Structure formats: structure tokens, C-alpha cells
Structure 1
Amino acid sequence: MKTASITMIIGSALLFGLFFYPLWSISLEAPQYPSGIGMYIHLDGLEGHEKHDIQNIDGLNHYIGMRKLPKDDEMWEFSVFPKVVGGMAILGIIIGILGFFKKISYNWFLGWLILMLVLGVLGMIDFNNWMTDYGTNLDPNAIMKMTDKEGNPLSYKPPLFGSKDILNFTAHSYPATGAILMGLGMFLTFAAYIIGLKKAK
């Protein structure tokens, strides 16, 4: 049980990496931006890949009627998500310590993982809903009004995962270092459960 508990503690502690590294990365490529522009999505706000990327993205979005990217205090997620992730990391470490001293069983490791998976799915749904609203709720007085063949306004929603062509841009959306650390942490907590299960047998 000690090996399983130590693995659980390490896995949970990896969530703290989200406070130092970005969760997600969205980038745009186009002929006028050969090196690309983009932004990192952190738990508590947005940051450009380069110094002026956020400003450049807002400038481009203005022409097609998209809102400016939100400031740190303009989205409730940027204040709630750090608390949720920090709380889950601390809870996982406490569960691991209690397991180390045989105060609780390895089933608690699985319970923590399931809760983390549920919260992760809810977070991705919220993220996708925000991108949908951001890319489709356009200013009717925009300088450029692009429509499809049926005359409906185009959607500028970036992909949740993968790449997508938007006008003359190609948008890329992929997990960043923080998400990789979180995934590794969740894998380790699952491994901790399996180790505990085998020890019990």
C-alpha cells in the first residue's frame, strides 16, 4: 500500500504544475503571419505566445465582429479553476498520506480519479461553450461580414482539439505543458489504484 500511496501523492502533486505552465495553446497561421500568432490559456488568464500576440488577435477579430479576448477578471473561470485544481491536488495528497498510514483503502484513489475526470469533462464542455459563443456571437456592425453559401454568418470558433481552416488562417488547438502534467498525474493515480488492488489480492 505504501508504493500505491506514494504514487498517488506524486500524481496529485503534478496538478500544481498547472499553476506554472499553460493548460492549452491556440495558434493561428496565415501568409501574413509566417511565424504564426497565438495564445496560451492558463488557469487564471490568457497570455500571448509572443509579447503582442493578444493585441494582434484582438485587432484581427475587430474586423470580423468578434469580441476582445477577456481580461483575467472578466471570466469567472479564471478565479474558480485555480481553486478547484488546487483543492483537488491537496485532496489527492491527503488521500495518499492517509493511504500510506493505512487509514483508508485504495478505493479512495479511484474515487479521486473519477471526480477529477468529471471535473475535467465539465471544464472542457465549458471551454468549448465559451469558444462557440466567442466565435459565433458577432457584432452585426462589423467591418467585414463573411457568410457561407446559404448566406449565414460564418463561425470563427477555433477547434477544441486539432486544426481547422478559418478564412485564410489555419487554427491549431492542442494541450500545453500543464495539461500534459495533469494527464500524467491522472495516469499515476490510476496506476496507484491498480497497485493497491494487486496488493490487496
Structure 2
Amino acid sequence: MKKASILMIVGSLLLLGLFKFPLWNIMLGAPQYPEPLGMNIFINGIEGQNEFDIQNIDGLNHYIGMKTLPKPEDMWEFRVFPMVVGGMALLGVLFGFLVLTKKIGYQWFLVWFILMTILGTLGMYDFNAWMIDYGTNLDPNAIMKLQNPDGTPMSYKPPLLGHKKLLNFDAFSYPRLGGYLMFVGMLLTLLAYIIGRRNFKLERV
């Protein structure tokens, strides 16, 4: 079980990259902005890709009635997500050592993977719900009030993943390095379970 345990430990530790690198990125490009505006979303806050990007995005949003981008103290997620990620990383390392010392079975690797998948799905759902509120709950006294062809208020929700046209802006939303590290880490933990199961079967032959 040594190889499986090492993969589990390494995969779990990759989650700690989320404390250093952004999880997600949203870019806004338009003809009047030679340098696109961007924001990097970390597990504990939002930062502009360039020095004045957050200020410029908030300035644009003011005209259409969107709220300013939240600061870490404005969202409970920025306080809870670091604890969840840190806790899951430590739990994965613990499982790796316990399986290595034969205190528990390799099946706990799958338990960790399923739990992390559920937490990750809930996190993405929450992120998407925040963007829906951010892009549709607009100030009725905004300077600009734009409507769809059918007369309904226009939504400015960025895409959860991919590209979307927002007025004359092209919005792009994709994972960043922290998100890729988390994905690779989860794949390694799943691989650890598969290898652990194979080794268990070979030992019983």
C-alpha cells in the first residue's frame, strides 16, 4: 500500500496550493480596453489581475446598478473555504499515513474523494448562485437600465465556465492554477484508491 498511500498524501497536499494561487479567473474584454479587465478569485478573497482592475470593474458596474465586488469580510465563504480546504488536506494526509501503517483500509481514500467531490460541487453551486445575484439583483436607480428584446431586465451574470457576451464586453471564466492543482490532487487520490484496491486483491490471491 506504500505507493497508494504516497499518492494519497501528495494529492491531498496539492490542495494547499489554493492558499497561494487563484482558484478561478474572470476576464472582461472590450474595444475600449486594450488591456482586458480581470479578477482572480481565491478561496479567501478577490484580487484584480492588474493594479486597478477591481476599481475599474466596480466603476463600470456602478452605471448598470451592480453591487461592488465583495471584500473578504463581506462573504462568509471567504472565511469558511480556507478552513474546509485546510481540513480536507490534513484529513487526506492522515488517511494516507493510517493506510500506510495499516491502521485503516484503502477504502477511506474513496470516502475522502467522495466527500471532496461533494464539497467542491457545493462550492461551485454557491459560486454560481453568487454570480446570479451579482448579475441580476440590480439597483433600480442605476444610470443605465438596459432590457432584453422581450422587455425583461438584462442579466449581467458572467458565465460559470466559458465565454459569454455582456453588452460590448466578452466575458471569459476559467479555472486558474489553484483550481488545476485541486483537480490533479483529487485525481491522484482517486488513483490511490484504485491502486490500493488492486494491491488488496493481489495480496489475497
TM-score bracket, normalised by the shorter chain, equals over 0.9
CA distances 1:49-108 after superposition (whole Å, capped 9, x unpaired): 000000000000000000000111000000000000000000000000001111111100
Aligned length: 201
Instruction: Map 1:8-23; keep pairs closer than 5 Å.
Output: 8-23=8-23
Q: Which runs of 5+ in 2 are unaligned?
A: none
1:30 deviates by 0.2
Instruction: Map 1:41-56; keep pairs closer than 5 Å.
Output: 41-56=41-56
- Helix, strand or coil for the counterpart of 2:165? strand
Q: Distance in 1 between matches of 2:100 and 2:10?
A: 12
- Helix, strand or coil for the counterpart of 1:3? helix
- Helix, strand or coil for the counterpart of 1:122? helix
Q: TM-score, normalised by structure 2?
A: 0.97
- Helix, strand or coil for the counterpart of 1:173? strand
Q: What is residue 69 of structure 2 aligned with on the other side?
A: 69
**Matching residue's letter, 2:141:** N
1:26 deviates by 0.2
Q: Distance in 2 between matches of 1:73 and 1:122?
A: 21
**Matching residue's letter, 1:106:** Y
C-alpha root-mean-square deviation of aligned residues, in Å? 0.4
Q: What is residue 104 of structure 2 aligned with on the other side?
A: 104
CA distances 1:148-186 after superposition (whole Å, capped 9, x unpaired): 111111000000000000000000000000000000000
* Alignment of 1:84 onto 2:84: yes
- Helix, strand or coil for the counterpart of 2:26? strand
**Matching residue's letter, 1:80:** V
* Alignment of 1:146 onto 2:146: yes
Q: What is residue 37 of structure 1 aligned with on the other side?
A: 37
Which ranges of 4 or more aligned residues in structure 1 deviate by more than 6 Å?
A: none
**Matching residue's letter, 2:96:** G
1:191 deviates by 0.6
Q: What is residue 158 of structure 1 aligned with on the other side?
A: 158
1:122 deviates by 0.3
- Helix, strand or coil for the counterpart of 2:198? helix
Q: TM-score, normalised by structure 1?
A: 0.99
Q: Which runs of 5+ in 1 are unaligned?
A: none
- Helix, strand or coil for the counterpart of 2:74? coil
**Matching residue's letter, 1:73:** E
1:35 deviates by 1.9
1:34 deviates by 1.9
